Structure formats: structure tokens, C-alpha cells
Amino acid sequence: MIFGMQMEQLYMYILLVAGALTVLCVFFGDIVDLRDALPIINPTVILTFITIGSAIGFLLETATEFNEWSVLAISAGFAFVLDLLLYVFILLPLSSVEPTIAYSEESLPGKVADVTIPIPVDGYGEVILETYAGVISKRATGFDNEAIGQDEKVLIVEVSGDTLYVQAWDH
């Protein structure tokens, strides 16, 4: 017993809390993204370890006669191995993939786009770009900090992060 609870209860409570936090992390994980500051601390990996460990611990406590420390060691070992496999074979490859296969950031300079949300001086607007795979909308700002009106054609000059630097295009 820990904290006056049976181990099965403790594993179940940890499983429920970690599962709920995992769901919240999936929906709101991009808001608080710590991977740039601390790449080792990935909430998905940590919560997955806790969720898998508590699930295996609960199952072993209810289905076997092992003592508490053996169950903890076995569940932590299995959770570590499964979490490592998740990280190496799923999360790590996904982190290096482009957001879409329709285009790459390097191919955008020199393309012509249409302004959908006007771009103010020293501000941001939105442009759409037609590709063979569909229409892409991206945040844009004036290359020389100029204002560009809606429905005007622009030339993409530079890409930095998720922002396109554009200038009015007269053809």
C-alpha cells in the first residue's frame, strides 16, 4: 500500500491521469512545444511511458501474484522498451518530415501567389498558392514592408520559418 491505497488503485489512477494528459497533449501540444528548448523532454514520450507503465502494472497486479517491486520493475522495463520503439520508429522519423508532400519550402521562392488577406505595412496577411496537389495557404508579409491589397498577385521572394516574404507582382 502507498498513500493508503492498494497498488491496483494507484496504477489505475495514474493510468487515468496520464491518459487524460496524453489526450490534452495531442490536442494542445503545439501550443507549449518544448522540443526546441529541451529536445530530450518530449511530453509525448514521457506520458506514453507513464501510461504504458501504469497499464502493465495494473494488469500484472490484478492477474499475477508477483510482489509490488517485481511488478514495478517489470512494468517499467516493458514501458521503457515500448516507449523506445515508439520514439525511434515513429516519433523521430515524423519529426523530420515536411508538413506536406505537395511542396517544399525551398521550392516556393519565385512562385506567384494570390493575396487572400491584405498584407499591411509591417504586418502579416495570407496568400494562397496553387500546386499540382491542391491549394496551400500561408502567412505572408511584404518583403520591403509594403502594404499589398487583397486579390493582388505577389511573387514569393523568400521563405523564413512559416512566413513568406512577398512583393507585388506586375506581369
The whole model's pTM is what? 0.57
For the chain, give every domain's residue range: 7-95, 105-168
Cα distance between residue 88 and residue 101, in whole Å: 22
SS3 of residue 9 by DSSP? helix
The architecture of the domain spanning 105-168 is Beta Barrel (2.40)
One digit per residue, pLDDT tens: the chain, 171 residues? 676 788 899 999 999 999 898 888 877 766 666 556 565 677 888 888 999 999 999 999 999 999 999 999 999 999 999 999 988 898 788 777 656 555 677 778 888 999 999 999 888 999 998 877 778 888 999 888 888 888 889 998 988 888 889 998 887
Q: Are 78 and 52 contacting, i.e. CB atoms less than 8 angstroms apart?
A: yes
Residue 125's DSSP bridge partners are 140
Query: Which grid coordinates belong to 142?
Result: 511584404
Cα distance between residue 83 and residue 45, in whole Å: 7
Cα–Cα separations (whole angstroms), residue 77 to 21, 54, 56, 72, 128: 22, 12, 10, 8, 49
